[in-house]
Amino acid sequence: MPGAIKSSKNTVRTASGRKQTTGQKAPRPKSGAAKAGLAKDPRPPRRLRAPRYKTLRLTKRIKHPVKLPSTWRLTKSALQLIFRNWKLVLGVLVIYEILNMLLVRGLSGGTDVSQLKSALDSLFSGVVGHITSGLTIFALLVGTSTSNSGANGATAYQSLLILMVSLALVWAYRQLLAGKKIRIRDAYYQGMYPMVPVILVLLVVSIQFIPGLIGAWTYGIVTQNGIATGTLQQVLWGIFFFLLVLLSLYMICSSIFALYIATLAEMTPMRALRSARELVRFRRWTVLRKVLFLPLWLLVIGALIMLPIILLVPVAAQWIFFVLTMIGLAFGHAYMYTLYRELLREKA
């Protein structure tokens, strides 16, 4: 407009002093969030958001974006960890076995395998009978490996020793994977400080075993006392027992990793349990399959090794089983700690 003086981007002032707006709209004043430079909330409106995932609630299955390594890869990594540091692992296990013989079993060795084999061979005959007797003795050795038929004090000593060697092994594995050089005594001196948090987590795990124990006790009562007489009733009680066992496994699947988290510095049991639940979130059943693979694999390998020894050299079977038990303990913690690190890596 001729004779107009421009005063802003949106208004002009004429020669007579009157203001006249142009076609461009004036900018709106910025809000407090915009002035502060805050970004807009990228989340969708609350009514369009997906329901929050909660444990033991029926929701649509959510697939975790990252796939865990296979059980064979975990087994290979655990074996490599042991073989690379076999001197340290062997030293930790030898100290445990010495204390075990002095405080729990003594020099007698416990179960007389030769006498048991003679008694079972009189009941079974043939090749199948010998294999059956060998598997029966192996099952008996496995059943008595974590319990003692003597005084209750021996059982308490054994539980304490297993806890001590477990803490020593976990501490040693953590330091070795961090690239540090340690000594055997360091594993026992410095690995014992988280004993109280680990014991408290173990109490929680023991409580989580209760549904499965109730199911086993109930199923035994109804089948032995003739309460479930028909096939259909036995099947229904069997399903009830299976569901209770599945509930226990579902809870223990996360809590077992809390035992490794509780060994960290300044870690409380409740924080360890919460962190363990986050580790297995959206992949609890996948992790459960990998956890259950460990005892099954150890039993199969142990049976394949011990069966020829029981049949051919029953005198040495008890001592060889002690050695296999120690190796199985070291491998079990290496496998579980490797799986725990994989969960941490993929969460990060």
**CB-CB contact of 329 with 298 (8 Å):** no
User: Which candidate, 124, 265, 254, 299, places its Cα nearest to that of 191?
Assistant: 265
**CB-CB contact of 155 with 148 (8 Å):** yes
**Residue ranges covered by each domain of the chain:** 71-347
Pair of tokens at residue 340: 């725990």
Tokens 């120690």, located at residue: 326
- The sheet with strand 5-6 has its strands ordered as 5-6, 11-13, 19-21
Q: Where are the beta strands (DSSP E) in 197-341?
A: none
Pair of tokens at residue 134: 């060998």
* pLDDT score recorded for residue 65: 52
Give the C-alpha separation, 98 to 273, whole Å: 33
Phi, psi of 72 (to 5 degrees): -70, -35
Give the C-alpha separation, 246 to 100, whole Å: 34
Do β-strands 5-6 and 19-21 pair in parallel, antiparallel, or remain unpaired? unpaired
Pair of tokens at residue 172: 């040693």
* pLDDT score recorded for residue 214: 92
Phi, psi of 19 (to 5 degrees): -90, 140
* pLDDT score recorded for residue 231: 81
- Tally Cβ neighbours within 10 Å of residue 71: 18
Q: How far is CA 230 from CA 35, 173, 183, 208, 225, in A?
A: 76, 53, 62, 31, 13
* pLDDT score recorded for residue 184: 92
Using only the alpha carbons of the chain, give its radius of gyration.
Answer: 32
Written as tens digits, the pLDDT of the chain (348 aa) is 444 444 444 554 544 555 555 555 555 554 444 444 444 445 545 443 444 545 555 455 555 556 788 899 999 999 999 999 999 999 999 999 888 888 876 655 556 787 888 877 777 777 777 788 888 888 888 877 655 545 555 678 888 899 999 999 999 999 999 989 999 999 999 999 899 999 999 999 999 999 999 998 988 888 887 777 778 888 888 899 999 999 999 999 999 999 999 999 889 999 999 999 999 988 888 899 999 999 999 999 999 999 999 888 888 888 899 889 999 999 999 999 999 999 987 655
pTM of the full predicted structure?
0.77
* pLDDT score recorded for residue 36: 43
